[in-house]
Amino acid sequence: MIIYDSHIAAELLSQGQLVGIPTETVYGLAANALNAEAVVKIFEAKKRPYFDPLIVHIADVDQMDRFACDIHDKARRLAQMFWPGPLTIVLPRQKIIPDIVTSGLDSVGLRVPNHAITLELLRMLDFPLAAPSANPFGYISPTTAGHVQDQLDGKVSAVLDGGPCAVGVESTIVHCSPNGQITLLRQGGIPLEMIQHCVGDVDVQLHSSSNPKAPGMLASHYAPRTKLQIGSIDELLRSVADLNVAYLSFQTEFDDHPGIVLSPNGDLSEAARNLFAAMRELDQKQYDLILTELMPDVGVGRAINDRLLRAASYG
Ligand code: TXA
Ligand code: MG
């Protein structure tokens, strides 16, 4: 059921039910983060492995200390600078956060999403919201309420419709240790350059099936069912002439082939905003293969490239 009223969402969440919520990055599948039984339903609905921890969404910077401890000044600076916004900060957790939310880790990922309806919802509640992206585990993240409805119908009590997501890729995740060391765990809506500008040196540890700090960052993720190949679209189109293929390009239109251009003017933010819906649309058309290319590896282009590489991975 699609709903537009945050009061109804608040009521359902207070009863321990699951609600799809809009954020500026992607739609989340939310439950009361302090209610372990409600949180179990998230893992069941997504078929998500229990070793993959959830992000806890809070209403404002002031709530940080309720859920995290040993917060270094740099983490506070990041929060002040980028919240509400697409940045998740992983910090030592307070005991009030149940084990199931953090997969037993002694840290918790916190974020204040930048979306008016969801901020209104969070302010109404007396608990924070655990919310992963609202897609079946491993599939493309949803950027509209309709995407959530299509994929999780029957498993979610309601989807709060807040329109299409403005950023389109998930939050950037940084780990901040008590001594102030900052480690980038996932590229996302806030470019690495901006994090560095705010706090100086940042370690980068993105590859993670082997990285205990981000157990959920598997190589194959965000993936369509149709095989996706990355390279020079022009060359690839010629090499697979006998197959039924479509392209997904940054700026270029390829005559005589079906496909989607992410941003005709070469705007990386626009490309990010369109990325997941475009992958989803092409995936539904049952092509043999989707051909795509990497974007310039700067700013939010880094997050787009990360998602494309994971989508093309079959490991
Ligand atoms: O933009 C986003 O972050 C969206 C919206 C809904 O907020 N959420 C999202 O959640 O992308 P999800 O569950 O799809 O990805 C969250 C990732 C996990 O896979 C995990 O790697 C990392 O966040 N994470 C969460 N808590 C962590 C922790 N305590 N330590 C390390 N990594 C953590
Ligand atoms: Mg996800």
Q: What is the pLDDT of residue 241?
A: 84
Q: Which residue has the tokens 């969404």?
A: 57
Extract the tokens encoding 123.
Answer: 């302010």
Query: Which among 21, 11, 223, 1 has a CA at the least distance from the CA of 130?
Result: 21
The residue among 40, 41, 35, 37 whose CA lies nearest residue 97 is 35
Beta-strand relationship, 182-186 and 172-176: antiparallel
CA-proximal residue: ligand 1, atom 18 (nearest): 216
CATH level 3 topology of 228-312 = Rossmann fold (3.40.50)
What single letter denotes the amino acid at residue 306? D
The pLDDT value recorded for residue 313 is 81
The Cα–Cα gap between 161 and 2 comes to 6
Is the peptide bond between 84 and the residue preceding it cis, with omega within 30 degrees of 0? yes
Give the other-Cβ count within 10 Å of 130's Cβ: 29
Amino acid identity of residue 93, one-letter, is R
Q: Position 292: which residue type?
A: T
| pLDDT value of position 145 | 98
**What end-to-end distance do the CA atoms of the chain give, in Å?**
35
pLDDT (0 to 100) of residue 212? 45
Q: Which residues contact 150 (CB under 8 A, 6 or more apart)?
A: none
For the chain, give every domain's residue range.
Answer: 2-204, 228-312
Q: Starting from the edge strand earliest in sequence, which strands make up the sheet with 227-230, in order?
A: 227-230, 289-292, 245-249, 259-261
What is the distance between the alpha carbons of residues 34 and 99, in angstroms, rounded to a whole number? 10
- Tens-digit pLDDT profile for the chain (315 aa)? 999 999 999 999 999 999 999 999 999 999 999 999 999 999 999 999 999 999 999 999 999 999 999 999 999 999 999 999 999 999 999 999 999 999 999 999 999 999 999 999 999 999 999 999 999 998 999 999 999 999 998 999 999 999 999 999 999 999 999 999 999 999 999 999 999 999 999 999 986 544 445 545 556 666 788 999 999 999 999 999 889 999 999 999 999 999 999 999 999 999 999 999 999 999 999 999 999 999 999 999 999 999 999 999 854
pLDDT, position 242 = 87
For residue 227, give the H/E element and its range.
strand 227-230
Please give the backbone phi and psi of residue 241, each rounded to the nearest 5 degrees, phi first: -55, -25
Q: Is the pTM of this model over 0.85?
A: yes
Distance 173 CA to ligand 1 centre (A): 7
Which atom of ligand 1 sits closest to the CA of residue 188? 1
CATH superfamily of 2-204: DHBP synthase (3.90.870.10)
Q: Which of 137, 171, 173, 203 to mutate to test the pocket of ligand 1 (most atoms within 8 A of CB)?
A: 173
Cβ atoms < 10 Å from Cβ of 9: 27
Q: What is the pLDDT of residue 314?
A: 53
For residue 89 and ligand 1, the question of a CB distance below 6 A is answered with no
The CA 256 to ligand 2 mean position distance, Å, reads: 34
Cα(25) to centroid(ligand 1), Å = 12
